[in-house]
């Protein structure tokens, strides 16, 4: 599915899938927020939903291995942007809106919603053995209980401890 989409949409899907960030955190990214190293794509995200006491937005630097299957779609699009917003627009903000991304997603499939990717990634990390503390750190959640809201109970999770030494 991702290979048949236009370059910009492949980038959006890869960012949502690879990093598990909110659409609002992806649309505000500038080219200067994305650094490419030999082994990783390092993206500086502004954590928008968090309530900073100081009034200064949190910035978290997240790494995605260049070996990850979504990295090629990110790199492919990043190479086309020299400066400014990664998803530029002529509107007041200078970048496309989260509403625009939601519209694009609905055109792909009516059952897709932006947080689907966060839920899916959180569940996959949990199935692979990720703890609630690791999920909290990865997704930049303020409260560890948020992991309970995002991780869906799956057969894999329910059977994970069927075979054990204790």
Please name which of 148, 140, 146 lies closest in space to residue 25, comparing C-alpha atoms: 140
Strand order across the beta sheet in which 34-36 lies: 34-36, 40-47, 58-65
Burial pattern 132-148, b for ≥16 Cβ within 10 A else e, equals eeebbebbbbeeeebbe
Cβ–Cβ < 8 Å for 153, 127: no
Looking at the predicted structure, is the pLDDT value of residue 3 above 90?
A: no
Q: How many CB atoms lie within 10 A of CB 79?
A: 10
Per the CB < 8 A criterion, the answer to whether 45 and 59 are in contact is: yes
Q: Which residue has the higher pLDDT, 71 or 160?
A: 71
Average pLDDT, the chain: 87
Q: How far apart are CA 21 and CA 63, in angstroms?
A: 12
pLDDT > 90? residue 13: yes
Q: Which residues contact 38 (CB under 8 A, 6 or more apart)?
A: 66
pLDDT at position 140: 86
Helix (H) or strand (E) holding 58: strand 58-65
User: pTM for this one?
Assistant: 0.83
Check if the beta carbon of residue 123 is closer than 8 Å to that of residue 150: yes
2-109 architecture in CATH? Answer: Alpha-Beta Complex (3.90)
* pLDDT recorded at residue 17: 93
Report domain extents, the chain.
2-109, 114-156
């Amino acid at each position: 599915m991702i290979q048949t989409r236009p370059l910009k949409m492949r980038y959006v899907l890869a960012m949502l899938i690879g990093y598990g960030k909110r659409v609002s955190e992806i649309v505000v990214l500038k080219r200067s927020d994305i650094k490419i190293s030999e082994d990783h794509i390092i993206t500086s995200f502004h954590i928008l939903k968090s309530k900073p006491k100081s009034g200064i937005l949190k910035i978290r630097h997240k790494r995605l291995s260049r070996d990850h299957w979504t990295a090629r779609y990110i790199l492919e699009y990043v190479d086309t942007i020299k400066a400014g917003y990664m998803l530029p627009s002529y509107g007041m903000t200078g970048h496309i809106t989260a509403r625009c991304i939601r519209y694009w997603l609905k055109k792909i499939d009516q059952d897709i919603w932006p947080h689907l990717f966060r839920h899916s990634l959180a569940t996959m990390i949990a199935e692979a053995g990720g703890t609630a503390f690791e999920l909290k750190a990865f997704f930049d959640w303020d409260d560890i209980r948020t992991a309970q809201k995002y991780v869906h109970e799956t057969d894999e999770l329910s059977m994970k401890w069927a075979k054990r030494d204790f």
